[in-house]
Chain A
Amino acid sequence: DIQMTQSPSSLSASVGDRVTITCRASQSIDIYVNWYQQKPGKAPNLLIYPASSFPSGVPSRFRGSGSGTDFTLTISSLQPEDFATYYCQQSYITPLTFGGGTKVEIK
């Protein structure tokens, strides 16, 4: 199985900060990473799909990049509604696997 190692596991940041979350795959997965945002008690919300496309309605401050084994989710200017947990997920091959999550908290 492909292991997805996400870092950091948590971070504290202020509104307006630039935030970067990284995800490393245990083997090359080309561009096939999806990123999700999850708020407490809610379902995940798709932010980015392979690897830098984004669904309509996702703010442009969210950007994904990377290929091969190293991927990054960047929030260019953190907003109050962005405090949540973020997960990467590889879709290159089954079993589909997730990173452990990054909890973004208010500083």
Chain B
Amino acid sequence: EVQLVESGGGLVQPGRSLRLSCIGSGFTFGDYALSWFRQAPGKGLEWVGFIRSKADGETTEYAASGKGTFIISRDDSKGIVYLQMNSLKTEDTAVYFCSRGVWGSYRYFFDNWGQGTLVTVSS
């Protein structure tokens, strides 16, 4: 069974940093892209960014909201994908989900998601 489990959320002050982790199991972790999404309280879903597999260059892409301040990395030996969030703002408050990206018909879709971890940015 494919499982993704996020951790690392919590309360953090504006301007500080936080690193989220997502550990995957039940599949060959290194074969897949991994993506982060978020959902502010009572709002819709927002894509944060993703990292491709090593075979696809381990390249990353980010939404404009996190470009330059959010960094996604992966450790395939441990089956973990990270989201390093720097210079956090109150508007970054959200539940953060990681998801497995599957390449199909020349584009990604996201077939398995973690349960999410809540990040609250507040003084």
Contacts and interface: CB of A to CB of B under 8 A. Distances in A.
Most chain A CB within a 10 A radius of its CB, from B47, B115, B116? B47
Interface string A74-106: 000000000000010101101111111100000
B44 A87 contact: yes
Contacts of A94: 61
A22 interface: no
A53 to B, nearest CB: 8
Interface stretch (B9-17, B74-82, B103-111): B103-111
Given A44-B45, A91-B108, 8 more contacts: A32-B105, A32-B107, A43-B97, A45-B113, A87-B45, A95-B61, A96-B47, A96-B63
Interface string B27-53: 000000000010000001111000000
Contacts, number: 62
Interface of A: 1, 31-32, 34, 36, 38, 42-46, 49-50, 53, 55, 87, 89, 91-92, 94-101
Contacts of A42: 115
Interface of B: 37, 44-47, 61-64, 97, 102, 104-105, 107-116
Contact of B44 (A46, A96, A100): A100
Given A87-B44, A98-B46, A101-B44, A43 B110 contact: no
